[in-house]
């Protein structure tokens, strides 16, 4: 029989032991292990000399400093650590550019036969607003390919059909298998771990229903294909060159990429504000940029029932992602509306869904719940992967209608940040990936369809 106090005591001791073990593993893997070992050796020598020679600590320290061997080793170790840290930091800042082509002019030249989203007309109309006359210019052509528009009355559970084969697993092409280790190494400054994902083999309309033909893949397969499309291998070859087809995206049913299903979404508070998430430096794509309210892969732990992917699972997975990412109570989430299906060109045509929903919480309530959650200590990899970012900014629905400018790599609009128990307003470019800016454009189009057009 376990008494409550005894159980708690053992639980605390167990957690302490677990944390000590994790700390030791982190130290062993860190760049500072050489300096730590050298420090411990020197400390041991000091203790031994103190015991055997009866010298003072000051005399021992002077003697050690006079020993060139110790001083040289210490300096070399420090330089090694600093050089490695600097190298890793620099790589982290350029990792996305190494893995994926983020020069939008080059992307447009590669896929010159594709029809991308064009925000030119909307931006020109918005610039008549006095506040936006002198806004920075940018590329109004956003490299995503919209496949389908859906009406807001579409019901996920009734109007979406999923033809799923849980035993149909993605088979990596030989070229990917041959270079798998190199491709995965491109993500070495990102926090990634393997997981089962749903693969979209094809999609379209049949009998007035949106049908997705799905199978299975793994997250690392996508990391070695969709997320490293432009990582240069031997001979200057890339996944985009080897598995692509030049001027147009390969149709989904013929694509040899992993193509795991993902979704982006915008969540509106009860007082008409939308959160944007500042993405952390260790996410696999879009480091230090702003993402939509939600941007995620479909989590099979939320979407599958008895191993099978159903439309109900899609709705459930989106709701659970909102809870995990924004710390919003699930009961407050209203209808999930899938508004668009599109393909992310930078990632080789990866299939994505865009959704909109509203919640019965104000922006302030959401922000406070989000901030409280950040204060909790969650150290395991899966827990870290739940949260793409640790900070939010907010945009108003009215500003999206009247002021927002849409470009390939950023949007421009007034935004609000929670500071000292109030929202402060700022005006500057909001850096985003094309998928995120494209979804902001989808949101504008939805608001326009509802009759909430720009003045």
Q: Write the CB contacts of 61 (distance below 8 Å, at least 6 apart in sequence).
A: 46
How is residue 23 written in tokens? 């700390």
Residue 334 lies inside a defined structural domain of this protein = yes
Whole-number Å distance between alpha carbons of 220 and 196: 9
42 with 88, same domain: the answer is: yes
Helices 57-66 and 68-99, packing angle to 10 deg: 70
Residue-wise burial string across 397-433, b where 16 or more C-beta atoms lie within 10 A, e elsewhere: bebbbbbbbbbbbbbbbbbbebeeeebeeeeebbbbb
In 3D space, the residue among 208, 204, 352 whose CA is nearest the CA of residue 292 turns out to be: 352
What six digits make up the tokens of 349?
């045509």
Flag whether 159 is in a domain: yes
Statement to judge: residues 239 and 337 lie in one domain:
yes
Ranges under pLDDT 50 in the chain: 1-10, 25, 28, 134, 381, 453-455
Boundary of a domain, candidates 82, 99, 116: 99
66: alpha, beta or left? (left if phi > 0; alpha if psi -120 to 50) = alpha
Res 311: pLDDT: 95
Pair (132, 93) in one structural domain = no
Tell me the C-alpha distance between 204 and 21, whole Å.
Answer: 50
Same domain, 191 and 236: yes
pTM of the predicted model over 0.75 = yes
Domain extent, residue 266, equals: 104-449
pLDDT reported for residue 449:
85
Q: What is the pLDDT of residue 198?
A: 98
Pairwise CA distance, residues 302 & 314, whole Å:
8
Establish if 298 belongs to a structural domain.
Answer: yes
Q: What is the pLDDT of residue 193?
A: 87
User: 71, 99, 127: which is the final residue of a domain?
Assistant: 99
Decide which of 42, 76, 99 is a domain's last residue. 99
Do 170 and 49 belong to one domain? no
d(CA 64, CA 45): 9
Tens digits of per-residue pLDDT, 341-399?
999 999 999 999 999 999 999 999 999 999 988 776 555 545 555 577 889 999 999 99
CB atoms within 10 A of CB 16: 10
List residues bridging with 267 in a β-sheet. Answer: 357
In a shared domain, residues 128 and 169: yes
pLDDT given for residue 392 in this prediction:
96
């Amino acid at each position: 029989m376990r008494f409550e106090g005894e159980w708690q005591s053992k639980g605390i001791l167990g957690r302490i032991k677990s944390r000590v073990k994790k700390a030791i593993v982190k130290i062993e893997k860190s760049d500072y292990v050489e300096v730590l070992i050298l420090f411990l050796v020197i400390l041991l020598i000091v203790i031994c000399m103190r015991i055997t020679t009866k010298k003072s600590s000051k005399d021992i320290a002077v003697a050690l400093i006079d020993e060139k061997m110790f001083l040289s080793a210490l300096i070399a170790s420090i330089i090694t650590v600093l050089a490695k840290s600097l190298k890793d930091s620099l790589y982290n800042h350029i990792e996305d550019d190494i893995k994926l082509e983020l020069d939008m002019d080059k992307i447009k030249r590669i896929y010159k036969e594709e029809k991308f989203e064009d925000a030119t007309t909307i931006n020109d109309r918005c610039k008549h607003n006095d506040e936006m006359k002198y806004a920075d210019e940018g590329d109004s052509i956003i490299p995503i390919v919209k496949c389908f528009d859906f009406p807001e009355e579409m019901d996920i559970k009734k109007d979406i059909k999923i033809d799923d084969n849980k035993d149909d697993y993605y088979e990596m092409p030989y070229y990917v298998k041959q270079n798998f280790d190199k491709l995965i190494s491109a993500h070495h400054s990102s926090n990634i771990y393997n997981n089962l994902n749903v693969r979209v083999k094809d999609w379209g309309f049949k009998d007035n229903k949106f049908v997705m033909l799905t199978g299975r893949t793994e997250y690392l397969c996508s990391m070695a294909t969709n997320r490293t499309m432009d990582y240069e291998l031997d001979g200057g070859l890339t996944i985009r060159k080897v598995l692509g087809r030049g001027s147009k995206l390969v149709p989904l049913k013929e694509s040899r990429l992993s193509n795991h299903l993902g979704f982006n979404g915008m969540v509106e508070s009860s007082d008409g504000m939308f959160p944007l998430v500042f993405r952390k430096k260790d996410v696999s794509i879009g480091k230090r940029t702003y993402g939509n309210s939600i941007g995620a892969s479909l989590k099979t732990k939320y979407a599958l029932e008895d191993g099978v992917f159903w439309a109900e699972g899609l709705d459930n997975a989106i709701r659970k992602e909102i809870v995990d990412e924004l710390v919003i109570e699930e009961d407050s989430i209203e209808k999930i509306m899938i508004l668009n299906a599109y393909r992310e060109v930078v990632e080789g045509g990866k299939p994505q869904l865009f959704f909109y929903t509203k919640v019965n919480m104000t922006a302030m309530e959401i922000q406070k719940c989000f901030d409280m959650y950040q204060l909790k200590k969650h150290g395991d990899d899966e827990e870290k992967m739940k949260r793409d970012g640790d900070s939010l900014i907010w945009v108003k629905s009215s500003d999206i209608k009247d002021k927002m400018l849409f470009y390939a790599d950023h949007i421009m609009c007034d935004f609000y940040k929670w500071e000292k128990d109030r929202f402060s307003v700022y005006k500057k470019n909001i850096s985003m990936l094309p998928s995120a800016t494209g979804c902001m454009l989808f949101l504008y189009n939805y608001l326009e369809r509802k009759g909430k057009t720009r003045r």
